[in-house]
């Protein structure tokens, strides 16, 4: 077992982690930062971000408007104090990344261009064509490489947070290349390990978005918040699930059913296709249920059309990537033909219970990005409001983690806790011999969540979903990992990921059963209305050996009274 010492550990090399690393490095050049990532940073899901990042840059826009859009989008579950602070932090990040070389798309006069996005009352999404994540990630990664005090540990898979007396002292990892068990000792840690969108089968997320960060924190006693809120993006390409950005509708793309009828006027008469994602996803599902979906050449999944032919003049300049995706994956020329789409799991609104200062239950553990639940997004995140969170709060997290490291010493590593983890992996998990296959359980789990914990939920579906999850947990005890080698043992890694996914699926499902109302992305057919009297509160899930213990926490309101939400 090797031990590596770094003042600040950053778990995750996506947009949130890279931004935090740069902020920590800038805070003090004498502080060392270890960025631990199971992927080479530029393979993180952030690279796939497409449409844009919201920021108030125009005098006709305002912080209050950005905050209000976000609060209404959240179905009033977002914490208003956090949102008000967040929107003020964003513009500086746009200019900073611009100065670092991010090629933001421009207006004719050279100013930074902004486009409309779902449920915005002002076109405030800054973008780099439809490759926003790719360009921001290139910018941040190049920047991070300039600091000698940032040390990259790529392809290290984190498995456990080691905590004593409510303070983090180390994180255990597997060096994927060698199979060595490596312990990172740190003074503070930033969780930036992304979301859990791959809990679902039909998903826009990269295959590695398996919620490890949430799982690791939860098992170490840090509560998770609002996990039942999983966002379904209206336009996943059928049958692959690849995202067709919301910018396609914001630029003028329309949705059509099998009668070639534009149906959004029935569900969102004012905003139409530009309503929030939860509203548009449900509208599509209702059309399909009413027999107005299309069943075509892509297997069993019924779909509707996203028609971009009316904006074909914009596709090459503003939406080149999705145009290429439609061509390469479906053989469709979006200039002349509509694209088959269906709602797909997209964004994890829940995550580590934290706040706008990125702090968590343990004073030297911070959380940011999709791994965290601040809560800015409440029950439904607005498109273009995640990458800006990664930048703005990544900057905060890096600074506070560095500040802690500067004023504290290393705590000694809790060796028995580390040894337990080493035994769990090599002597328990790898040696189980019950014949159950990891990939098969994972598929069953994903299909179960699609079916029973999806866009539409009911008590019966959710109870069935939970029963199934418990059976997968039981089967997990009987897995056999066929590959016993140490180097690049992906089967072992998938088994570890599946362990986290099973915990998270249970939390999502239990939270969804207990929330007997409909709010944002959580829609219960048996409780179709929002119930502010009983459920205007955050769900908190804490670890216990018998499964998640659920409690609640109030939502913070500043000046916006909850009203009926319509678009
Ligand atoms: C297709 C797509 C398009 C999107 N478009 C937009 C958009 O236009 N605008 C917008 O605002 N948002 C968009 N989003 C959402 C946004 O991109 C993400 O929420 C955000 O980029 C997440 O960044 P992150 O840094 O939190 O996580 P990620 O980018 O997912 O990075 C997670 C990191 O954690 C590491 N990690 C995870 N588990 C472990 C482990 N066990 N051990 C070690 N390392 C680990 C990974 O290696 C990775 O580096 C989009 C999302 C998708 C899927």
Asked if residue 272 lies in contact with residue 279, where contact means CB atoms within 8 angstroms, the answer is: no
**C-alpha span between 559 and 501 (Å, rounded):** 38
Residue 271: φ, ψ to 5° = -85, -20
Within its chain, how far is the Cα of 343 from the centroid?
16
Q: Which of 15, 46, 277 to mutate to test the pocket of ligand 1 (most atoms within 8 A of CB)?
A: 46
Nearest atom in ligand 1 to 371's CA: 26
Nearest atom in ligand 1 to 18's CA: 25
Task: Please tell me whether residue 366 adopts helix, strand or coil conformation.
Answer: strand
Check residue 243 and report its DSSP letter. Answer: B
Q: What is the pLDDT of residue 297?
A: 86
**C-alpha span between 18 and 150 (Å, rounded):** 10
pLDDT > 90? residue 104: yes
Angstrom distances, CA of residue 207 to CA of 43, 143, 198, 347 = 11, 26, 6, 14
Q: Which of 194, 212, 319 to mutate to test the pocket of ligand 1 (most atoms within 8 A of CB)?
A: 194
- Closest-CA residue, ligand 1 atom 41, reads 158
Check residue 239 and report its DSSP letter. Answer: T
Report how far ligand 1's centroid is from the alpha carbon of 59 (Å).
31
Measured on CA atoms in the order 419, 425, 430, 432, is the torsion positive or negative?
positive
- Closest-CA residue, ligand 1 atom 50, reads 49
pLDDT in tens, 148-194: 999 999 999 999 999 999 999 999 999 999 999 999 999 999 999 99
Q: Cα torsion for 176, 148, 46, 183, to the nearest 10°?
A: 30
Residue 3: φ, ψ to 5° = -120, 130
**C-alpha span between 31 and 19 (Å, rounded):** 16
Label residue 519 by pLDDT band (50, 70, 90).
very high
Label residue 206 by pLDDT band (50, 70, 90).
very high
pLDDT > 90? residue 1: no
**C-alpha span between 150 and 307 (Å, rounded):** 46
Label residue 211 by pLDDT band (50, 70, 90).
very high
Tokens of 286: 């209702």
Give the ranges where 356-482 is alpha helix by DSSP (H): 387-407, 415-423, 438-452, 459-476
**How big is the chain, counted in residues?**
567
Nearest atom in ligand 1 to 16's CA: 25
Bridge partners of 158? 173
User: To 5 degrees, how large is the angle CA 95–CA 96–CA 97?
Assistant: 95
Q: Which of 37, 39, 49 to mutate to test the pocket of ligand 1 (most atoms within 8 A of CB)?
A: 49
Mean pLDDT score, 225-241: 98
Strands 156-164 and 167-175 turn out to be antiparallel
Do you find a cis peptide bond into 375, omega within 30 degrees of 0?
yes
Nearest atom in ligand 1 to 205's CA: 53
Q: Cα torsion for 449, 450, 451, 453, to the nearest 10°?
A: 50
Q: Which of 19, 45, 134, 354 to mutate to test the pocket of ligand 1 (most atoms within 8 A of CB)?
A: 45
Q: Which residues line ligand 1 (CB under 6 A)?
A: 11-17, 36-39, 41, 44-46, 48-53, 132-133, 157-158, 192-194, 204-205, 209, 212-213, 243, 347, 369-371, 384-387, 390
CA proximity to 342, closest of 301, 383, 309, 382: 301
**C-alpha span between 384 and 132 (Å, rounded):** 10
- Closest-CA residue, ligand 1 atom 3, reads 49
- Closest-CA residue, ligand 1 atom 52, reads 49
Tokens of 464: 């069935």
DSSP 510-546: HHHHH--S-BTTB-BTTB-S--HHHH-EEEEEE--TT
Report how far ligand 1's centroid is from the alpha carbon of 215 (Å).
16
Asked if residue 190 lies in contact with residue 23, where contact means CB atoms within 8 angstroms, the answer is: no
**C-alpha span between 533 and 531 (Å, rounded):** 5
User: To 5 degrees, how large is the angle CA 465–CA 467–CA 471?
Assistant: 115
Report how far ligand 1's centroid is from the alpha carbon of 356 (Å).
19
Tokens of 546: 């018998």
Q: Where are the beta strands (DSSP E) in 91-245?
A: 114-115, 125-126, 150-154, 156-164, 167-175, 181-185, 188-191, 224-225, 230-237
Angstrom distances, CA of residue 128 to CA of 205, 369, 471 = 20, 20, 45
Find all residues with CB under 8 Å of 306, minimum gap 6, and list them. 235, 244, 248, 249, 253, 254, 255, 338, 339, 340, 341
CA proximity to 358, closest of 151, 161, 82: 82
pLDDT in tens, 421-466: 999 999 999 999 999 999 999 999 999 999 999 999 999 999 999 9
The domain 234-346: what is its CATH number?
3.90.700.10
Structurally, what CATH architecture does the domain formed by 415-530 represent? Answer: Up-down Bundle (1.20)
Within its chain, how far is the Cα of 181 from the centroid?
28
Task: Please tell me whether residue 481 adopts helix, strand or coil conformation.
Answer: coil
Quote the percentage of the chain above a pLDDT of 70.
Answer: 100
Label residue 296 by pLDDT band (50, 70, 90).
confident
> 0.85 exceeded by the pTM?
yes
Asked if residue 143 lies in contact with residue 100, where contact means CB atoms within 8 angstroms, the answer is: yes
Asked if residue 172 lies in contact with residue 422, where contact means CB atoms within 8 angstroms, the answer is: yes
Within its chain, how far is the Cα of 472 from the centroid?
24
Q: Secondary structure of the chain: what % helix, strand, coil (to 5)?
A: 40, 20, 40
Bridge partners of 189? 9, 365
Place of tokens 């399909």: 288
Mean pLDDT of all residues belonging to the chain: 97
Burial annotation 422-453 (CB, 10 A radius, 16+ → b, else e): bebbeeebbeeeeebebeebbebbbebbbebb
Nearest atom in ligand 1 to 130's CA: 8
Report how far ligand 1's centroid is from the alpha carbon of 462 (Å).
27
Quote the percentage of the chain above a pLDDT of 90.
Answer: 99
Q: Which residues are catalytic?
A: 233, 249
Find all residues with CB under 8 Å of 412, minimum gap 6, and list them. 169
Tokens of 84: 């008000």
- What are the extents of the domains in the chain? 234-346, 415-530
């Amino acid at each position: 077992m090797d031990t590596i010492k770094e003042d600040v550990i950053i778990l995750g090399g996506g947009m949130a982690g890279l931004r935090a690393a740069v902020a920590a490095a800038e805070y003090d050049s004498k502080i060392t930062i270890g960025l631990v990532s199971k992927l080479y940073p530029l393979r993180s899901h952030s690279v796939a971000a497409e449409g844009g990042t919201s920021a108030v840059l125009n005098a006709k826009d305002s912080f209050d408007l950005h905050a209000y859009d976000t609060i209404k989008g959240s179905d009033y579950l977002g914490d208003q104090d956090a949102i008000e602070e967040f929107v003020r932090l964003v513009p500086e990040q746009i200019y900073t990344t611009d100065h670092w070389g991010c090629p933001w798309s421009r207006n004719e006069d050279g100013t930074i261009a902004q486009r409309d996005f779902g449920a915005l009352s002002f076109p405030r999404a800054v973008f780099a064509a439809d490759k926003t994540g790719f360009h921001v990630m290139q910018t941040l990664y190049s920047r991070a490489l300039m600091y000698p005090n940032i040390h990259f540990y790529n392809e290290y898979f984190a498995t456990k947070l080691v905590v004593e007396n409510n303070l983090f002292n180390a994180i255990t990892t597997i060096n994927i290349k060698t199979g060595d068990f490596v312990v990172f000792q740190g003074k503070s840690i930033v969780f930036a390990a992304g979301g859990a969108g791959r809990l679902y089968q039909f998903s826009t997320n990269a295959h590695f978005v398996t919620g490890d960060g949430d799982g690791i924190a939860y098992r170490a006693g840090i509560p998770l918040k609002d996990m039942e809120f999983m966002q379904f993006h209206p336009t996943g390409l059928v049958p692959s699930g690849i995202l067709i950005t919301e910018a396609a509708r914001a630029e003028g793309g329309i949705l059509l059913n099998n009668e070639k009828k534009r149906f959004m006027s029935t569900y969102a008469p004012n905003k139409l296709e530009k309503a929030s994602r939860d509203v548009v996803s449900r509208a599509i599902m209702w059309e399909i249920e009413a027999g107005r979906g299309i069943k075509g050449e892509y297997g069993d999944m019924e779909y509707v059309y996203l028609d971009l032919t009316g904006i074909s003049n914009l596709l090459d300049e503003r939406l080149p990537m999705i145009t290429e995706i439609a061509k390469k994956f479906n053989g469709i020329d979006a200039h002349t033909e509509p694209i088959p789409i269906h709602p797909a799991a997209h964004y994890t609104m829940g995550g580590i219970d934290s706040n706008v200062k990125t702090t968590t239950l343990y004073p030297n553990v911070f959380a940011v990005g999709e791994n965290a639940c601040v809560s800015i997004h409440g029950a439904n995140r607005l498109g273009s409001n995640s990458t800006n969170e990664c930048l703005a709060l990544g900057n905060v997290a890096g600074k506070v983690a560095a500040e802690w490291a500067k004023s504290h010493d290393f705590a000694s590593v809790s060796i028995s806790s580390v040894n337990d983890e080493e035994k769990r992996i090599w002597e328990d998990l790898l040696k189980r011999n019950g014949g159950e296959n990891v990939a098969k359980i994972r598929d069953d789990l994903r299909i179960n969540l699609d079916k029973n914990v999806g866009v539409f939920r009911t008590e019966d579906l959710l109870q069935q979903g939970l029963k199934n999850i418990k059976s997968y947990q039981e089967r997990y005890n009987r897995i056999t990992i066929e590959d016993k080698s140490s180097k690049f043992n992906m089967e072992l890694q998938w088994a570890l990921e599946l362990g986290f996914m099973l915990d998270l699926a249970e939390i999502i499902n239990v939270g969804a059963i207990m929330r007997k109302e409909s709010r944002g992305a959580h829609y219960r057919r048996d409780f179709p209305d929002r119930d502010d009297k009983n459920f205007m509160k955050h769900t908190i899930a804490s670890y216990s050996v018998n499964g998640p213990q659920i409690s609640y926490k109030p939502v913070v309101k500043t000046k916006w009274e909850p009203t009926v939400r319509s678009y």
